Amino acid sequence: MNKKLGQFMTPSGIAGLVARELGYCDTVIDFAVGEGALLNAVQHMQGNGTGVIGFDVDQKMINRAQMVLRNAQLIYGNGLTSHIKGEPRGKIGIVGNPPFVSAAPVESSWVTKAFPGLTGKLGTHRAEVQFLARALVTARPVGGRVVFVMPIGFADGDIYSRIRALLTSQYRLLKCIEVPAGIFADTEARTVVLVIDTAGEGGIETEVCEVQAYSAQPLRVVSKVIKPGERLDARYHKAMQSSTSNGPLLRDLGVTIDRGIYSRKEAEDMHITAIHTSDLNRATNHKLVGSPGKNETLGHAVTAKKGDILLPRTGSRVRWEPVIVQSGEMPITDHVFRIRAPKKVREIVCQSFYHPLFRAWLEGASKGVCATVLTKRELLQMPAFAFSYSAEELLSTTS
Ligand SMILES: C[S@@+](CC[C@H](N)C(=O)[O-])C[C@H]1O[C@@H](n2cnc3c(N)ncnc32)[C@H](O)[C@@H]1O
């Protein structure tokens, strides 16, 4: 298998799931057909009467697909630039498990066609996004359905948030089904299966589901109207549900969050003693005291002062516990968040990181395979778990 061409074939359980979600179609297209696993599952479910069209840049893949598919039009060529021969017949469906690789910028025009109004280039250089865009552009004129396997990053990554926002507002995203790690034999990656109806406007409820490893059946986690750019992965929505509190979010309490700008190495080179996650791990009683006069040149370093709460942003062996700055002023590295809360809510914010629901929330909100990574955007949306009605009364009497 050629990994540069993203040749990771779809396991049969997931191919079956894609075919079931597609429903009946007269013609089904796969712009990166590989060995034909998806189209084979479609024919298996719908019978050989369904016409299938497949493209692949690798002749070996075309030959293999030829052996398992019947009534197939297989085209050796680039699925992003080759034309479909003739007019596809009847009701059209498009399936895909495209290559998850970087692509030539010239091919990103599908993305602008599929998502009118998209600003910026973030995420558009990825082949899988361009294949999804081509599928949407092809299916939309006939109101066809698109069922696509995408990497988890598309569902949880910040760089795709604008594309997600347009996907949910301009198309009917019926389902986002998370496929946990370990189901794709060749890779440990988590993926999602998007089920999109191109007929009609967006703004509908999306079912966020998770595939059960033993049965390849999707179980529903939640059905809701996804907020613009909101994450689509089941892990996130499960954690959000388990940590739902009626209290306010950190951003509602006037909290601001910043991260350091220098890495530990950069700070060392500039002779700045910056607080790193290892210093947070070592802090006695979760408190830090700045040493006056130690950092004469702070450069543009982000510094923490008395009352600030420090929390790791990322790391594999970090202690996910808050540390309070007791005195002095200390720069922080880019692995540390400085959480600045108005005095009257500081205790509530700090206690929220000790609350049992924080762990459940962190599990869903964080990203990363080797190390947990938390973003400022997610953290601002964390519920203040320690907020209680007595705290609410206290705030209203003191404000
Ligand atoms: C993840 S595999 C496809 C899996 C396949 N859909 C299945 O059902 O098993 C991706 C396939 O895309 C092909 N590919 C890579 N770049 C391509 C391109 N620009 N156009 C068409 N196919 C391409 C690779 O050769 C590979 O066979």
The torsion angles phi and psi of 249, rounded to 5 degrees, stand at -90, 165
Q: Give the residue whose CA is nearest to atom 18 of ligand 1.
A: 78
Which of 3, 61, 69 best tests ligand 1's pocket when mutated (most atoms within 8 Å of CB)? Answer: 61
* CA of 95 relative to ligand 1 center, distance in Å: 12
Select the CATH number that applies to the domain covering 3-242 from these four: 3.40.50.970, 3.40.50.150, 3.30.1700.10, 3.40.1520.20: 3.40.50.150
> Average pLDDT, stretch 191-202?
93
Give CA–CA dist 234/178, Å, rounded.
6
Mean pLDDT of the chain: 87
Give CA–CA dist 357/353, Å, rounded.
9
Q: Which of 130, 121, 127, 222 is nearest to 162 (CA)?
A: 121
Q: Which atom of ligand 1 is nearest to the CA of 10?
A: 9
Residue 190's pLDDT is: 86
For 146-193, what is each residue's pLDDT tens digit? 999 999 999 999 899 999 999 999 999 999 999 987 665 555 678 999
Residue 180's pLDDT is: 84
For 35-61, what is each residue's pLDDT tens digit? 999 999 999 999 878 899 999 999 999
Residue 105's pLDDT is: 63
Give the least confident one: 72-86, 173-187, 342-356. 173-187
Q: Among residues of the chain, what percentage have pLDDT more than 70?
A: 87
pLDDT at 32 over 70: yes
Give CA–CA dist 23/147, Å, rounded.
10
Domain boundaries, given as residue ranges, for the chain: 3-242, 250-398
pLDDT at 392 over 60: no
The conformational region for residue 381 under phi > 0 = left, psi -120 to 50 = alpha, else beta, is alpha
Residue 399: pLDDT band with limits 50, 70, 90: very low
Pocket of ligand 1 (CB under 6 A): 5-10, 15, 30, 32-35, 37-38, 55-58, 61, 78-80, 97, 99
For 267-291, what is each residue's pLDDT tens digit? 899 888 899 999 999 988 888 887 6
Q: Which atom of ligand 1 is nearest to the CA of 96?
A: 6
Instruction: Give the amino acid at 298.
Output: L
Q: Which two tokens stand for residue 111?
A: 């993305």
Which of 1, 2, 4, 9 best tests ligand 1's pocket when mutated (most atoms within 8 Å of CB)? Answer: 9
Residue 187's pLDDT is: 56
pLDDT at 298 over 90: no
- Higher local confidence (pLDDT), 8 or 353: 353
Residue 299's pLDDT is: 65
Residue 270's pLDDT is: 86
Fold of the domain spanning 250-398: Adenine-n6-DNA-methyltransferase TaqI; Chain A, domain 2 (3.90.220)
* CA of 289 relative to ligand 1 center, distance in Å: 56
Q: Which atom of ligand 1 is nearest to the CA of 55?
A: 21
Residue 106: pLDDT band with limits 50, 70, 90: low
pLDDT at 311 over 90: yes
Give CA–CA dist 160/340, Å, rounded.
28
Give CA–CA dist 210/179, Å, rounded.
6
* CA of 13 relative to ligand 1 center, distance in Å: 18
Give the least confident one: 152-156, 260-264, 298-302. 298-302
pLDDT at 354 over 60: yes
* CA of 180 relative to ligand 1 center, distance in Å: 21
Q: Which two tokens stand for residue 207?
A: 């079912």
